[in-house]
Structure 1
Amino acid sequence: METRTERTRFDPVDLRRRWVQVPAGDPQVAAERIEGLGVDFAAANGRVWETDDFVYLPVVVNLRTGDTISREAVVFALGHDVLVTLQPEVRFAPFDKAVARMRRTPHLAGSPHGVMYALLYALNEAAERVIDYASDALEAMTDEIDMATKGVDENGRDIGVMDMQDTIARMNEAEEIVSRSQESQLLLARAARYLRAETAASEVELGKLIDILIADIDGVKEHASFEHDKVRYLQQSIMTSLDVKQNQIVKVFTIITAVFLPPTLIATFYGMNFTWMPELEWEHGFLVTTLLTLVAALIPLAYIKRKGWLR
Structure 2
Amino acid sequence: MLNAYGTANGCLTGLAATIGGEVPADAVWLDLVEPTAEEETHVEASLGIDIPTREELAEIEASSRLYQEDGAVFMTANLIRRGDNDQPESSPVTFIVKNNLLITIRYHHPQAFPVYVKRAMKPQATAMTGWGVFISLLEAVVDRAADHLERVGQIVDDTSRKTFGTGRLMGGAATKPLARPRGVNLEVLIQNIGEEGDFTSKMRESLVSIGRVVAFAQAIFDQLKQSREMKDNRARIKIVQRDIQSLTDHATFLSGKISFLLDAVLGLISIEQNGIIKIFSVAAVVFLPPTLVASIYGMNFHMMPELNWEYGYPIAIGLMILSAILPWLYFKQKGWL
TM-score band w.r.t. shorter chain: 0.7 to 0.9
Q: Aligned partners of 1:109 and 1:102: how far apart in 2?
A: 11
Counterpart secondary structure, 1:199 = helix
2:236 to 194, 201, 209: 209
Does 2:323 match 1:296?
yes
Counterpart secondary structure, 2:30 = strand
Match of 1:29 in 2: 39
Shift, 1:257, TM fit: 0.8
Match of 2:252 in 1: 225
Q: Aligned partners of 2:319 and 2:242: how far apart in 1?
A: 79
Q: Aligned partners of 2:295 and 2:272: how far apart in 1?
A: 34
CA deviation digits over 1:207-248, x for unaligned, max 9? 111111000112222222233333333333333223222212
Counterpart residue type for residue 219 of structure 1 = S
2:134 to 116, 119, 124: 116
Structure 2 unaligned regions, length at least 5: 1-6, 16-23, 167-176
Is the contact between residue 81 and residue 110 of structure 2 (CA under 8 Å) also seen in structure 1? no
Is the contact between residue 23 and residue 29 of structure 1 (CA under 8 Å) also seen in structure 2? no
Match of 2:50 in 1: 39
**Greater fraction strand:** 2
Is the contact between residue 30 and residue 102 of structure 2 (CA under 8 Å) also seen in structure 1? yes
Is the contact between residue 23 and residue 30 of structure 1 (CA under 8 Å) also seen in structure 2? no
**Greater fraction helix:** 1
Is the contact between residue 102 and residue 108 of structure 1 (CA under 8 Å) also seen in structure 2? no
Match of 1:131 in 2: 149
Is the contact between residue 24 and residue 88 of structure 1 (CA under 8 Å) also seen in structure 2? yes
CA deviation digits over 1:256-299, x for unaligned, max 9? 11011111022112222223311111234334434443443345
Match of 1:195 in 2: 217
Shift, 1:308, TM fit: 3.8
Match of 1:3 in 2: none
2:192 to 170, 176, 179: 170
2:104 to 62, 80, 85: 85
Q: Aligned partners of 1:39 and 1:294: how far apart in 2?
A: 89
Shift, 1:186, TM fit: 1.0
Is the contact between residue 189 and residue 265 of structure 2 (CA under 8 Å) also seen in structure 1? no
Is the contact between residue 77 and residue 94 of structure 2 (CA under 8 Å) also seen in structure 1? yes
2:285 to 251, 258, 261: 258
Shift, 1:95, TM fit: 2.6
Structure 1 unaligned regions, length at least 5: 1-5
Range with bigger deviation, 62-71 or 212-221: 62-71
Q: Aligned partners of 1:121 and 1:224: how far apart in 2?
A: 18
Is the contact between residue 8 and residue 106 of structure 1 (CA under 8 Å) also seen in structure 2? no
**How many percent of aligned residue pairs carry the same amino acid?**
23
Range with bigger deviation, 32-41 or 143-152: 143-152
Shift, 1:8, TM fit: 8.7
Range with bigger deviation, 15-24 or 123-132: 15-24
Is the contact between residue 192 and residue 210 of structure 1 (CA under 8 Å) also seen in structure 2? yes
Q: Aligned partners of 1:15 and 1:131: how far apart in 2?
A: 39
Q: Aligned partners of 2:143 and 2:85: how far apart in 1?
A: 17
The structure-2 alpha-carbon separation of the partners of 1:7 and 1:285, relative to structure 1 and needing over 3 Å to count, comes to: closer
The structure-2 alpha-carbon separation of the partners of 1:129 and 1:69, relative to structure 1 and needing over 3 Å to count, comes to: farther
CA deviation digits over 1:134-191, x for unaligned, max 9? 233345556533459955546xxxx57xx33334333332222222211111111111
Range with bigger deviation, 56-65 or 135-144: 135-144
Please, what is the CA RMSD of the aligned residues?
A: 3.5
The number of residue pairs the alignment matches comes to 297
Is the contact between residue 15 and residue 109 of structure 1 (CA under 8 Å) also seen in structure 2? no
Q: Aligned partners of 1:294 and 1:65: how far apart in 2?
A: 63
In the superposition, the TM-score normalised over structure 2's length comes to 0.73
